């Protein structure tokens, strides 16, 4: 979309939201009101996103958009002031991005698993989030040293103990990779099992891919740290590498679950990856299906039908229920991050 078209559409949306009879609406509702095609709906998403970044439109936790009333004035500390509330804005509008960072694209998205009130898997004195953010930031540092741009889905301290991160909608965990147009996404997790004997790393991938990068990550980790490949055999493709698409029985269970909750059913198929951070970031190629069927209860992934998508991996870096794996995660975190980063750097440099 040209700058001229973007400015024209932004002006139109602001005029629409400025009408006295306008009530906060979700993307789906605005699209329906304007009778937009799928392509026009995706462009509307970009228009709304830019207006939010400019502090002219706000979006609440239910995905409803409204025009920000009042004036936003830049202060010496580079924040923006909301004269409606005599304070610096929070949920009424996001801080305007630095002009140099506007529309910035990233090479890689890293998703530190869980966060906020969601600590992830827990065992004994430890939980996933004791490790996922630290490891993610160490990988980020290694990549940026090599000139690779990295977007974290959330930063340390962004989520407090009373909140979790949205999976979908604007700036949702599974939407960010496509918003920033990254090529690769790596979601960092620590596994858990009822048996303390199960241990080792598991790299989850999309189906029908070239497994070279996944193999290189596994090889680098097992060569440069004390972590071994997992003893788990379910969904195993190669040592330490796993692919899990929905089975027919899982699809039936999923559909039954939607019906029980009163949700509209999604188009889940055996081409749909079971892990949402792989499925929803990959678009059509990974069987993404979170459309606007349940915007209030689930949210919407504007890129579910994209034919571009990210090449996404979910890394289970050992088992929090295994004392040896936890010890390695505590003592060899730097080596682990370097091993993962080395594989990503090699992959990107070979394809440039």
Q: 323-331 and 333-351 are packed helices; what angle lies between their axes, rounded to 10 degrees?
A: 70
Rounded to the nearest 5°, which phi and psi values hold at 101? -100, -5
Does pLDDT of 202 surpass 90?
Answer: yes
Give the N- to C-terminal CA distance of the chain in Å, as an integer: 26
User: What is the predicted pLDDT for the residue at 266?
Assistant: 96
Does pLDDT of 263 surpass 90?
Answer: yes
Rounded to the nearest 5°, which phi and psi values hold at 51? -65, -35
Contacts 24+ apart (CB under 8 A), 59-62: 59/169, 59/170, 60/24, 60/91, 61/166, 62/26, 62/296
Rounded to the nearest 5°, which phi and psi values hold at 109? -110, 130
Does pLDDT of 350 surpass 80?
Answer: yes
CA 82 to chain centre: 29
CA 303, 304, 309, 313: dihedral to nearest 10 degrees?
120
In this prediction, residues 174-180 reach a mean pLDDT of 96
Helices (H), 146-275: 176-179, 212-224, 248-261
pLDDT band at 92 (very low <50, low <70, confident <90, very high): very low
User: What is the predicted pLDDT for the residue at 221?
Assistant: 98
Does pLDDT of 258 surpass 90?
Answer: yes
Residues 82 and 72: beta-carbon distance below 8 Å: yes
Burial of 103 (0-12, 13-18, 19+ CB in 10 A): exposed
Residue 18 makes CB contacts below 8 A (sequence gap 6+) with 67
Compute CA distances 345 → 107, 147, 167, 249, 268, whole Å: 11, 9, 27, 39, 34
Does pLDDT of 237 surpass 70?
Answer: yes
Highest mean pLDDT: which range of 2-16, 43-57, 108-122: 108-122
pLDDT tens column, 152-171: 999 876 676 667 899 999 99
User: What is the predicted pLDDT for the residue at 308?
Assistant: 84
In this prediction, residues 181-202 reach a mean pLDDT of 97
CA 293 to chain centre: 20
Residues 244 and 273: beta-carbon distance below 8 Å: yes
Residues 311 and 183: beta-carbon distance below 8 Å: yes
Q: How far apart are CA 87 and CA 106, in angstroms?
A: 33
Compute CA distances 178 → 69, 95, 155, 286, 310, whole Å: 30, 21, 18, 14, 7
Does pLDDT of 322 surpass 90?
Answer: yes
Question: Nearest to residue 276, comparing CAs of 252, 312, 229?
Answer: 312
pTM of the model: 0.73
User: What is the predicted pLDDT for the residue at 181?
Assistant: 94
User: What is the predicted pLDDT for the residue at 139?
Assistant: 98
Residues 35 and 41: beta-carbon distance below 8 Å: no
User: What is the predicted pLDDT for the residue at 4?
Assistant: 82
CA count, 13 A, side-chain hemisphere, 173? 22
User: What is the predicted pLDDT for the residue at 53?
Assistant: 80
Question: Nearest to residue 200, comparing CAs of 210, 208, 192, 211?
Answer: 192
Question: Of 69 and 97, which is predicted with more confidence?
Answer: 69
Mean of pLDDT over the chain = 87
pLDDT tens column, 27-40: 878 888 888 887 78
Q: How far apart are CA 167 and CA 165, in angstroms?
A: 6
pLDDT tens column, 214-227: 999 999 999 999 99
pLDDT tens column, 281-312: 999 999 999 999 999 999 999 999 998 889 99
Does pLDDT of 102 surpass 50?
Answer: no
Neighbours of 121 (CB within 10 A): 19
User: What is the predicted pLDDT for the residue at 29?
Assistant: 83
Quote the percentage of the chain above a pLDDT of 90: 65
User: What is the predicted pLDDT for the residue at 45?
Assistant: 81
Quote the percentage of the chain above a pLDDT of 70: 88
């Amino acid at each position: 979309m040209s700058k001229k078209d973007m400015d024209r559409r932004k002006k139109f949306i602001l005029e629409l939201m400025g009408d006295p009879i306008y009530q906060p609406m979700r993307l789906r509702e605005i699209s329906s009101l304007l009778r937009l095609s799928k392509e026009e709906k995706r462009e509307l998403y970009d228009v709304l996103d830019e207006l939010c970044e400019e502090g002219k439109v706000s979006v609440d936790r239910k995905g409803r958009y409204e025009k920000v009333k009042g004036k936003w004035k830049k202060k010496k500390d580079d924040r923006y002031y909301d004269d409606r509330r005599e304070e610096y804005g929070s949920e009424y509008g996001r801080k305007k991005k630095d002009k140099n960072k506007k529309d910035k694209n990233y090479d890689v998205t890293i998703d530190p698993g869980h966060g906020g009130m969601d600590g992830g898997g827990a065992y004994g004195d430890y939980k996933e989030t004791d490790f996922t953010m630290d490891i993610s930031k160490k990988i980020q540092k290694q990549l940026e040293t090599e000139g690779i741009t990295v977007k974290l889905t959330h930063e340390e301290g962004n989520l407090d103990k009373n909140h979790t991160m949205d999976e979908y909608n604007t700036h949702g965990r599974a939407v960010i990779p496509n918003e920033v147009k990254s090529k690769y996404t790596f979601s960092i997790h620590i596994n858990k099992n009822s048996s303390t004997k199960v241990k080792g790393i598991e790299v989850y991938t999309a189906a029908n891919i070239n497994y070279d990068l996944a193999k290189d990550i596994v090889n680098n980790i097992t060569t440069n740290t004390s972590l071994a490949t997992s003893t788990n055999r379910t969904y195993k493709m190669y040592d330490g590498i796993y692919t899990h698409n929905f089975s027919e029985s899982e699809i039936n269970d999923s559909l039954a679950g939607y019906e029980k909750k009163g949700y509209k059913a999604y188009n889940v198929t055996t081409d749909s990856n079971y892990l949402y951070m792989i499925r929803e970031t990959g678009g059509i190629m990974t069987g993404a299906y979170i459309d606007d069927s349940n915007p209030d209860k689930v949210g919407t992934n504007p890129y579910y039908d994209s034919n571009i998508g990210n090449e996404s991996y979910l890394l289970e870096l050992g088992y929090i229920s295994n004392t040896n794996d936890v010890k390695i995660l505590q003592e060899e975190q730097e080596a682990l991050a370097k091993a993962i980063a080395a594989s990503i750097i090699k992959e990107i440099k070979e394809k440039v």
